[in-house]
Chain A
């Protein structure tokens, strides 16, 4: 309480808001953690759906998961874990005022994210080819909502697979946007050891995206 009131005063003595300082760092991190909480809850509901349908139709999950390519999945897992490491390193660098090193590490992180997406694209293409998409009953309805079963036995596993990985992919794209924004600011020299809140916020978000993938990988690829 006592420390926060001091910083509170500091903030108010400066400009009304946006004043880079310990208070903003403190609040932004707290706010970001809350936001990450909402993201986890969003995925939690999908995981709940997964658990319920897994209990109802375990054979579907075991058999369908065999059709997924563990190679693609493993490569992507390694890429993301590595990118988590580089983004964490980037934050450590800026704490020690190594701006150039931070920028390099951010570039590597972003490249990893892009590599993930490219890999995922090829994986999806492969899946369309071998008919997994058809098994998920995915089709363009244009919002009329009159779904018909395209295959004889539509697979709940593949509904969940495409929805989960699709939403996760969207988060990767958002994370890449966030990190690119941080990188641009980093190149312009906005950050130093006294002000690196956006770097840490971006890093936190990227960790979350990785973390979710770490759960997705065994649930989707290794369940066979």
Chain B
């Protein structure tokens, strides 16, 4: 690839001051603001998780009562889902690196990109107002309870509605950017796999998010005007809410996981010095996942009055998701095979992703099978499955992305030893937290319960210990990477010897990314065959 090698003294971080950040339409700055915002949300959501785990450490009431417990798990879920993981990798690293990876100077609509972040902030503020009387409905807002609860469901729903707009605008921007702003020679078959995955996830954002928007709006109308759309007392159907809700909220888990898969597809070939195996299969499986994601939603409703025929149909459709997912996993393993594997921190996270996500994905098949789901529904098995996919998948991958790309953003290298130690803390803590939850779930421990029978005491105790290790792991890992911004050694433009376009420009990247738009002549995965 011929890339611009012009030395610039000016980079995108040169101009200092808060105002420079607020007014900036630079995709890199917006991405970093998103990154910081979602990580703060992650820490707050994590604190709620630890409070919940602390309460559950021993049977009976320890330090919060049952109602507070309901509020805390609602806060944990809403913050983690709406503020952290939905914007997640797309809005942070997608923003920072998608335009660079396709050889563009910015996204298609930079001002709309800034508007997206502004809406995100507005959404956070609206949800923040709700904390005066925090909602206790769970993040799923199931009616009829959410229409009756005396807590501030409206501000949570309205906040999520506004965040949905932010999400749509980001997705729309990326779809147009990928279609229209690729550098000369950047054919679809030369797109980095990270771009493919962000593109697929953006399509889901654009298609699915309006549905949750209207659903939450109807819920708000229900609470303000007494419209009985979902209210059985007025002839409405509460199960319809569940259909509407999951029609968005199932695809949205692929908004979360697809970019994570994209990060892994970038990291694995770089650290095994081999071309990615099955490029087209991985790229198309992203699109396939996006497509299938829209026809599986009712597997969340196996216990809410689905007819047997419909349930079986959705069960089989759900199994379909396993096919493109497994294609990815096999291709990743084939990429590793025979490679010169370099166990740097980003690679450790990528490998952990493959391992943990495989567990999460396979347990998803248990839950997708209608017969097995009936006893497992609403147990800790579901909680553990979800956390294996979304935390073991997306969050682990986000940590990998941080370790992989932050040296590019700042031009400074993190402390590798601390990186590896904190990774081990995260990995051990994670499994210690959630393996006991799988066991409890199979034994029948229901989710969202404040108290439990003594048989589960040991598992809950272990799970809480694991959660604390996990918390320490995440905080120290994030601290390590951000500390490198000021204390790290300069690491040059391409410390990993990687081939995608972002590594061909200086670190930190210049304000306009490329002095001259590069002309792309080959795909970015020619590792090992010739000098990277």
Tell me the A residues contacting B by CB distance below 8 Å: 1, 4-5, 8-9, 12, 16-18, 23, 26-28, 30-31, 34-35, 37-39, 41-43, 45-46, 49, 52-53, 56-57, 136-150, 154, 156, 159-160, 162-163, 167
Contact = CB atoms under 8 A, between A and B. Distances in A.
B235 A8 contact: no
B235 A154 contact: yes
B226 A141 contact: yes
Among A52, A136, A142, A159, the most chain B Cβ lie within 10 Å of the Cβ of A159
Interface in B142-156: 147-150, 152-154
The dominant DSSP class at the B interface is helix
B240 A8 contact: no
Interface stretch (B71-79, B213-221, B493-501): B213-221
Contacts of A52: 237, 240
A48 to B, nearest CB: 8
Interface of B: 25, 104-106, 108-112, 147-150, 152-154, 168, 172-173, 175-176, 179-185, 187, 206-207, 209-211, 213-215, 217-218, 221-229, 231, 233-237, 240, 244, 247, 512, 517
Contacts of B111: 17-18
A26 B210 contact: no
A8 B180 contact: yes
B165 to A, nearest CB: 10
A39 B231 CA distance: 25
B236 A156 contact: yes
Contacts of A42: 210-211, 213-214
A16 B106 contact: yes
B207 A41 contact: yes
A60 B376 CA distance: 40
B227 A30 contact: no
Nearest to A23: B180
A127 B202 CA distance: 42
B238 to A, nearest CB: 13
The 5 closest A-B pairs by CB, nearest first: A145-B223, A147-B226, A42-B210, A5-B184, A41-B210
Contact of B109 (A27, A39, A143): A27
A142 B109 CA distance: 38
Most interface-central of B105, B187, B225, B236 (chain A CB within 10 A): B225
A148 B148 CA distance: 11
A34 B172 contact: yes
A146 B225 contact: no
Contacts of B229: 49, 156, 159-160, 163
Given A8-B182, A39-B210, A140-B224, 10 more contacts: A9-B517, A18-B111, A27-B109, A30-B179, A56-B237, A138-B225, A143-B152, A145-B149, A163-B227, A167-B217
B71 to A, nearest CB: 17
Contact of B224 (A4, A56, A136, A141): A141
A35 B234 contact: no
Contacts of B231: 147
A135 to B, nearest CB: 11
Most buried by B among A31, A148, A150: A31
A146 B148 CA distance: 6
B517 A41 contact: no
Given A12-B517, A145-B147, A163 B181 contact: no
Contacts of A162: 227
A107 B179 CA distance: 35
Contacts of A30: 176, 179-180
Contacts of A23: 180
A4 B180 contact: yes
A46 B16 CA distance: 48
B182 A141 contact: no
A141 B470 CA distance: 44
A167 B207 CA distance: 19
Nearest to A13: B517
A144 B220 CA distance: 10
A163 B226 contact: no
B225 A16 contact: no
A138 B226 CA distance: 6
A21 B112 CA distance: 18
Contacts of B217: 167
A160 B517 CA distance: 52
A139 B225 contact: yes
A22 to B, nearest CB: 11
A17 B226 contact: no
In this complex, the member of A35, A49, A138 whose beta carbon has the largest number of chain B beta carbons within 10 angstroms is: A49
A167 B214 CA distance: 10
A181 to B, nearest CB: 15
A38 B179 contact: no
B211 A45 contact: yes
A145 B227 contact: no
B180 A27 contact: yes
A149 B110 contact: no
B222 A49 contact: no
A59 to B, nearest CB: 12
Nearest to B145: A145
Given A52-B237, A137-B227, A138-B226, A163 B221 contact: yes
Contact of B153 (A57, A145, A147): A145
Contacts of B222: 145, 147
26 contacts: A5-B182, A5-B183, A8-B182, A12-B517, A17-B110, A17-B111, A31-B173, A34-B172, A38-B168, A38-B207, A42-B210, A45-B215, A45-B247, A46-B214, A49-B218, A56-B237, A142-B224, A144-B150, A145-B147, A145-B149, A145-B223, A154-B234, A156-B236, A159-B234, A159-B236, A163-B218
A165 to B, nearest CB: 13
Q: Which of A148, A156, A160 has the most CB of B within 10 A?
A: A156
Contacts of B218: 49, 163
A159 B235 CA distance: 11
A166 to B, nearest CB: 9
